Structures are given as structure tokens and as C-alpha cells.
């Protein structure tokens, strides 16, 4: 009996109790009237009984209305989309949330409302439930009338009439957009950890190899080998250093250090000078175009430097890995100028391998790299972060086999006053 509602307290049984109670009163009153053999008394008792019966009916009606209101309130308060459909897939009823987020018209079909289609969906859940009377579910992506894209789990359940026949089907849509987002983040994090382990393993391999070279050089008294091995050590330590700098840059909540009178052209020249020798070694020509720049010069120069270095390093690799083209030489263009909206633009364009179609969407993801053992997979994430810190954005155009152009657009009115003040505080420290 634990947890079970006593029968007498249920509204339906209480209604019957009242009727039975009313009927009993009538019978008792008639009996009393007959006993006293007085017509007036019988009539009075009869009227009393009828009144009691009427009260019973009214109470029942009130309870029925209350139940309907409760049901309606529950139907509307449920934090998911609900609709009830007939066999023609027309919406008979829907809850408030459904009506608010989808443009529901009277007698509209569900596929018109949810999918903006003219015909029912293939593998229609509702149709299946009408056919077999069972609950079915699927995952759907729907767009609300204000343009939000939602990931939903949809269940279809049969509603039966008193004879047990399926009169309609209820669809319940549960919003799992946040869960899916979290799932994606967890996947990315897992990939990031795996990517990180892979990069560290590669660097360790390089370091082990270099130790072997140095030791062999010492054993064989070969100065050249010792020198080569030591260069390997330096290269691999630089790779660790680079990886750590990029990691810290992306993972730490770092306040940019804006400085006044920063010359963006000077940053471009510095980076070009830094890469000139390496590019020459790789047979890559540098074309530098520096336009007139009139912005106020409040930038984080170290960040800009880091950003351009990453773009240049990527462009060089794109040329190095351009195996198929058979080009005699490659060219990288570095541009810095102001556009018509006074935004500061940096562009790094290469005529290398281009970004394959299937990886275009992944280039700004953590640890994504197509460079095998050489990439940290963090470079473009750094570029994106620096651009965003300056209130700007990074975009790219790529043509597989022909090259890629990365463009960083830093609006003229950035950084915001708030950031400037924050930065001013930092610089005083």
C-alpha cells in the first residue's frame, strides 16, 4: 500500500461517493416520509435529495474543469515541444513552446511547420506509430522561426480512444543542442590531448636522436657530427618552446598589452626579415607590399608579431609541401595596408599546395595539423586569438593546388576603451 493513493480520495471516486450518498439520502428520506406517512415530509425529503444530487453533479463538473485546466497547464509548462497529430499529419494540438518557436497555423501539417517541406519526411515517425502502435524515436535538426538551429530527440507515442484504437499520435521533441555542443567539445578535447601527446612524442624522438648523434660524434671524435647533433638539440628545444608558447597563449586568459604608436608596417618588416633567410633556403620568393597606414597605432606588437610569424610559417610550409604542382619556385606575398573603412589589413598569400576541401573547416581547431611531425596544430588558433583580441577577424581563401590567402582584418576603432584602460593599467605595472 505504500505510496498508493487511497481510492476514496481520488476525484472520480469522490464523485461517485457523492451520488451514492445523495441516492441514499433520497431512499432514507422516502422511507422516513413513508414511516411518518406525511406527504409534505416526503416531498421535502425528495427535494432535499434532488438538491444533494445537483450539488454532486456540480462538484464533479468543477473537478473535471480543474483537471482539464491542470492538464492544459502541464501540457504548456513542459520544457519540450509537444504536438498531437492526426492520420493526415495535421497538427491537432500543440503546447506553448512549440507554438512560440515554430510558426504553427491551424490545420497545418507537421512537415510544413517543422521542416518547411511540402511532403512528409521519409521514415516518418508518426506514420510508423500509426501503423504499429509503438513508440519510435529519432534525432532531428530543426530550425526555429527566429533562425535557431536545434538538435532534437523526437519521440512519437500513440494516443488511443476508449475502444483502444489509435486516434492520434503525440510527438515530443527534447532539445539536446547543449548536450551535442558539449559532446563536440569533449571530442575536441580528446583529440587535443591525443594531438598533444603525439607532438611531444615527436619532439622527444628528435631529442633522443640528437643525443645519439652527439654521443656518436664524441665517441668518433667527429666535431662535425657533434655540431650537427647539437643543432638538432637546439631545433627540438625550439620546437618544445614554440609548442609551450602557443599552448600558453591559447589556454591562458591573457590580457593583451596594447601600446601606443605601434607601427604595423614595422611589425610586418620585422617578420619579413626574420623569415627572409629561411625562405631563400627553401627557394621561396618574398613579395612585400606595404601601403599607407594611418591608424592610431594602439596595438599589442608582440601579439601581432606572433600572429604574422604563424601566418608566414604556414605559408612557407604550404610551399614546401606543394609536391604535386611541379612549380620551379614559389612566392609568398606579405601585405599590410588600410582599406576604405580604415581597417588595418594584414594579408599573407602563398602559391603553395592550398588547403584540401575536406580539412577546410578544421583549420582553426586545436592541434589540427596537416604537417605530420612538424606542426604544433596551434598556429592558426593563435592567429585567430590575436585577431579577436584586437576586435578583428581572420578569414581565408584557398584553392587546392594554387595557394591560400589569409587575411586579418583589425577594425580601426579597436581596441575598445575598456581594453585600452585595462591595458593602460597593465603597462603601468
Peptide bond just before 415 cis, omega within 30 deg: yes
Between 234 and 413, CB nearer to another protein: 234
What count of Cα atoms within 13 Å lies in the side-chain half-sphere of residue 207? 11
Q: Provide the minimum distance between the beta carbon of 139 and another protein in the complex, in angstroms, as a whole number.
A: 32
Q: Of 139 and 208, which CB lies nearer to another protein in the complex structure? A: 208
Q: Could you tell me the smallest distance in angstroms from the CB atom of residue 232 to another protein?
A: 5
What sign does the dihedral 21-26-30-35 (CA atoms) show?
positive
* Residue nearer to another protein on the CB measure, 14 or 320: 320
DSSP state of 218: H
Q: Report the distance separating Cα 425 and Cα 258, nearest Å.
A: 10
Residue 213 beta carbon to another protein: minimum distance, rounded to whole angstroms: 4
Residue 404: enclosing H or E segment and its boundaries? strand 403-410
Report the alpha-carbon distance of residue 104 to residue 427 in Å, rounded.
57
Nearer to another protein, 82 or 316 (CB): 316
Q: Indicate the residue among 91 and 213 with the shorter CB distance to another protein.
A: 213
Q: Which of 235, 238, 410 is nearest to 308 (CA)?
A: 410
* Cβ atoms 272, 287 nearer than 8 A: no
166, 159 contact by CB (below 8 A): yes
Least separation in angstroms between residue 320's CB and another protein is 5
Query: What's the min distance (Å) between Cβ of 204 and another protein?
Result: 9
Q: How far is the CB of 358 from another protein (least distance, A)?
A: 17
Least distance between another protein and beta carbon 315 (Å): 15
Q: How far is CA 285 from CA 10, 319, 406, in A?
A: 88, 11, 17
Q: How far is the CB of 323 from another protein (least distance, A)?
A: 5
Nearer to another protein, 208 or 388 (CB): 208
User: Within 13 A of 88's CA, how many CA atoms are on the CB side?
Assistant: 6
End-to-end CA distance of the chain: 72
Are 339 and 293 in contact by the 8 Å Cβ rule? The answer is no
Binding site for another protein (CB under 8 A): 205-206, 208-210, 212-213, 216-217, 219-220, 222, 225, 228-229, 231-232, 235-236, 320-323, 372-374
CA distances to 235, 283, 334 from 280, rounded to whole Å, are 19, 5, 15
Whole-number minimum distance, CB 376 to another protein, in Å?
Answer: 16
Nearer to another protein, 229 or 354 (CB): 229
Q: Phi and psi at residue 339, in whole multiples of 5°?
A: -90, -175
Q: How far is the CB of 206 from another protein (least distance, A)?
A: 5
SS3 105: coil
- In this structure, how many other beta carbons lie within 10 angstroms of the beta carbon of residue 125? 21
Judged by beta carbon, residue 263 or residue 374, the one nearer another protein is 374
Task: Say how far apart CA 412 and CA 344 lie, in whole Å.
Answer: 6
Q: Which is nearer to another protein, 123 or 224 (CB)?
A: 224
Q: For the purposes of burial, counting CB atoms within 10 Å of the CB of 188, is it exposed (0-12), middle (13-18) or buried (19 or more)?
A: middle
Residue 348 three-state SS: strand
CA distances to 140, 187, 318, 391 from 385, rounded to whole Å, are 33, 21, 21, 10
Amino acid at each position: 500500500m505504500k505510496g498508493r493513493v487511497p481510492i476514496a480520495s481520488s476525484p472520480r471516486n469522490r464523485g461517485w461517493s457523492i451520488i451514492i450518498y445523495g441516492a441514499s439520502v433520497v431512499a432514507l428520506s422516502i422511507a422516513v416520509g413513508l414511516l411518518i406517512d406525511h406527504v409534505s415530509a416526503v416531498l421535502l425529503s425528495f427535494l432535499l435529495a434532488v438538491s444533494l444530487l445537483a450539488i454532486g453533479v456540480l462538484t464533479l463538473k468543477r473537478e473535471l474543469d480543474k483537471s482539464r485546466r491542470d492538464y492544459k497547464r502541464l501540457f504548456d509548462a513542459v520544457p519540450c515541444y509537444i504536438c498531437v497529430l492526426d492520420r493526415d499529419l495535421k497538427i491537432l494540438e500543440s503546447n506553448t513552446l512549440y507554438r512560440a518557436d515554430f510558426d504553427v497555423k491551424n490545420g497545418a501539417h507537421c512537415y510544413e511547420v517543422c521542416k518547411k517541406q511540402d511532403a512528409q519526411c521519409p521514415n516518418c515517425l508518426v506514420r510508423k506509430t500509426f501503423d504499429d502502435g509503438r513508440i519510435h524515436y529519432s534525432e532531428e535538426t530543426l530550425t526555429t522561426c527566429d533562425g535557431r538551429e536545434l538538435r532534437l530527440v523526437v519521440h512519437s507515442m500513440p494516443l488511443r480512444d476508449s475502444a483502444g484504437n489509435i486516434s492520434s499520435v503525440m510527438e515530443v521533441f527534447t532539445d539536446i543542442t547543449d548536450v551535442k555542443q558539449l559532446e563536440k567539445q569533449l571530442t575536441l578535447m580528446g583529440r587535443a590531448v591525443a594531438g598533444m601527446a603525439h607532438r611531444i612524442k615527436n619532439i622527444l624522438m628528435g631529442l633522443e636522436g640528437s643525443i645519439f648523434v652527439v654521443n656518436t660524434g664524441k665517441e668518433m671524435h667527429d666535431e662535425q657530427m657533434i655540431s650537427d647533433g647539437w643543432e638538432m638539440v637546439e631545433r627540438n628545444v625550439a620546437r618544445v618552446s614554440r609548442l609551450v608558447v602557443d599552448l600558453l597563449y591559447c589556454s591562458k586568459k591573457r590580457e593583451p598589452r596594447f601600446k601606443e604608436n605601434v607601427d604595423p608596417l614595422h611589425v610586418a618588416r620585422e617578420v619579413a626579415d626574420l623569415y627572409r633567410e629561411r625562405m631563400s633556403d627553401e627557394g621561396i620568393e618574398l613579395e612585400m607590399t606595404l601601403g599607407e597606414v594611418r591608424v592610431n597605432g594602439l596595438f599589442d606588437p608582440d601579439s601581432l608579431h606572433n600572429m604574422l610569424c604563424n601566418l608566414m610559417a604556414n605559408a612557407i610550409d604550404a610551399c614546401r609541401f606543394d609536391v604535386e604542382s611541379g612549380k620551379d619556385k614559389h612566392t609568398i606575398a606579405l601585405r599590410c595596408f588600410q582599406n576604405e573603412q580604415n581597417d588595418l589589413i594584414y594579408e599573407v598569400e602563398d602559391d603553395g599546395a592550398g588547403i584540401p576541401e575536406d580539412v577546410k573547416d578544421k583549420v582553426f581547431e586545436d592541434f589540427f595539423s596537416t604537417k605530420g611531425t612538424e606542426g604544433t596544430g596551434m598556429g592558426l588558433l593563435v592567429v585567430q586569438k590575436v585577431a579577436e583580441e584586437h576586435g578583428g577577424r581572420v578569414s581565408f581563401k584557398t584553392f587546392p593546388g594554387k595557394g591560400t590567402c589569409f587575411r586579418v582584418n583589425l577594425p580601426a576603432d579597436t581596441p575598445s576603451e575598456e581594453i585600452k584602460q585595462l591595458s593602460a593599467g597593465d603597462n603601468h605595472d
